Amino acid sequence: MKKRRRIRENLSGVVALAIASVVFVIPFLFMVVTAGKDRAEASRLELSLPTEWHLQANIEQVMATGRDLMLTALRNSLILTVASVALIVLLSAMVGFVLQRRRDRTGSAVAALMLAGLILPPALVPTIFMLQWLGLFKTLLGLILVETMLLMPFAVLIFRTFMTAIPRELDEAAIIDGAGPLRLFFKVILPLLRPAMITVIVVSSIAVYNDFVNPLYFLPGNGNATVQLTLYEFQSQFSTKWNLLFADVLLITIPPMIMFIFFQRQLVSGLTAGAVKG
């Protein structure tokens, strides 16, 4: 009886793995082999190993396209992601801290606003209007501020929930020791928020890095793109050079892949936050 059950578990596991491989792994495999082919071979769109690997040459060719376009894009995406994530963490932790500790009318208003930010779609063209008014339209700084604003509601939710696990007695002890609000926050609370911080960093860095709509609206124009925009540009430019297009796809997919390998647990916990009451 027990033995038969083990066999069944093994067998269904193998079947499930086979199906999942076909559905979820083959598209990625296709990406990799196409990125490694030469132009003629890639144009057949087959799932086969390249007769000869040209991956490095293809990537070099992508990097050389359009006056350092790719290099600029990689640099822009790096700055965008790092700066936005730093701002998201700092500003949202501050909000989450006071929001959880102090129940008052302002707090309810802030909470309602965060909820609105989670649900309502942003008004795109009026945002351009505001950015232009600030002199930040078509600048990386403008885009950084937009990304920060968009991800803050999610981050505040995570920090506020995590704050409930930090006992108030700790605050009181710090205050009795003479700590002011800023010292309490930066020296006592912020270090304790580390697990929540890692979750926020991992989830929002992937969201910012992968974002396409906001760079499209707020950082238009050639030559100053983010990596996602290069993909979009190459799609029309390389419409017959699949090997180069997929070399770019592959190149751009590497950072999230690394995140996935090291932080899968934090990613899952961040994305399920709020799903189970807590």
User: Of residues 48-107, which lie at the interface with another protein (CB under 8 A)?
Assistant: 90-92, 94-95, 97-98, 101-102, 106
Stretch that binds another protein, among 51-59, 65-73, 78-86, 249-257 (CB under 8 A): 249-257
Say whether residue 262 binds another protein (CB under 8 A).
Answer: no
Closest CA to 160 of 100, 106, 200: 100
Say whether residue 125 binds another protein (CB under 8 A).
Answer: yes
> Are 215 and 226 spatial neighbours (Cβ–Cβ below 8 Å)?
yes
Query: Of the candidates 208, 244, 252, 266, which one interacts with another protein according to CB under 8 A?
Result: 252
What minimum distance in Å lies between the beta carbon of 127 and another protein?
4
Say whether residue 254 binds another protein (CB under 8 A).
Answer: no
Number of residues interacting with another protein: please give it, by CB under 8 A: 93
Say whether residue 148 binds another protein (CB under 8 A).
Answer: yes
Interacting residues with another protein between 21 and 40 (CB under 8 A) = 21, 23-28, 30-31, 34
Helix axes of 124-134 and 140-163: crossing angle, nearest 10 degrees: 110
Query: Of the candidates 51, 56, 108, 132, which one interacts with another protein according to CB under 8 A?
Result: 132
What minimum distance in Å lies between the beta carbon of 209 and another protein?
8
Q: What span, in angstroms and rounded, lies between the C-alpha atoms of 100 and 120? A: 23
Stretch that binds another protein, among 55-63, 64-72, 147-155, 193-201 (CB under 8 A): 147-155
Say whether residue 272 binds another protein (CB under 8 A).
Answer: yes
Stretch that binds another protein, among 53-61, 68-76, 78-86, 167-175 (CB under 8 A): 167-175
